[in-house]
A = this chain, B = another copy of it.
Amino acid sequence: MVKIKTIELNLKGKRVKFADITNMVKDAIKESKIKDGICVVISPHTTCSVYFEEYSHDKFEDGTEYLQYDLNSSLKKIVPDHDDSERYNYPGKAHYEAVESWPNASEYLPNGDKTALWNGDAHIKSTIIGSSETFAVENNELSIGKTGYIYFVDFDKTRSRIRKCKIVIIGD
């Protein structure tokens, strides 16, 4: 049996944005009525990732949890912020031209602002963390420890975005 649910996340701010989606995944499993199998949580976006981590009770003023901040600090040591056109090769001349030719170009280049494509950092971070994570489902429940949570992260700092996340449950 297969059940697929797509959730939408409204992620706001010009910063790395994290969303705790644990309860949404648990709800999808419950609705699926699948007893035993796997639950795959997937980002269809190339600047976002899904990962499994502890919930840390301390937060910064913008809502970022301490472990989320520490993760990003570690990654930044090899993937610095894309705040300068020389930081990464991406996006090159041909990429700008390709995006300008898209029918929805203004979504990616608002007011023709080329810095809106300076998200090379987000592309590389999401490749390192990965676009999906797979969990066990047992007795129609998400089979993780009590301290585990599922996070969706949008590493793209250029703007607020509404992001999709796919939850696929397969089993008996």
Binding site for B on A (CB under 8 A): 1-2, 4, 36-38, 40, 42, 44-47, 51-54, 56-58, 66-67, 69-71, 74-75, 77-79, 88-95, 97-98, 120, 123-124, 126-136, 138, 143-145, 147-148, 166, 168, 170-172
Whether A134 touches B132, Cβ cut-off 8 Å, given contacts A71-B124, A74-B124, is: yes
Q: List 5 A-B contacts (CB under 8 A).
A: A2-B171, A58-B90, A58-B91, A66-B89, A130-B133
Whether A74 touches B78, Cβ cut-off 8 Å, given contacts A53-B123, A148-B45, is: yes
Assuming A40-B134, A51-B127, what are 17 further A-B pairs, CB within 8 angstroms?
A1-B172, A2-B37, A4-B36, A42-B143, A45-B145, A56-B91, A57-B97, A58-B92, A58-B93, A67-B89, A67-B90, A70-B124, A77-B78, A78-B78, A128-B129, A129-B130, A170-B170
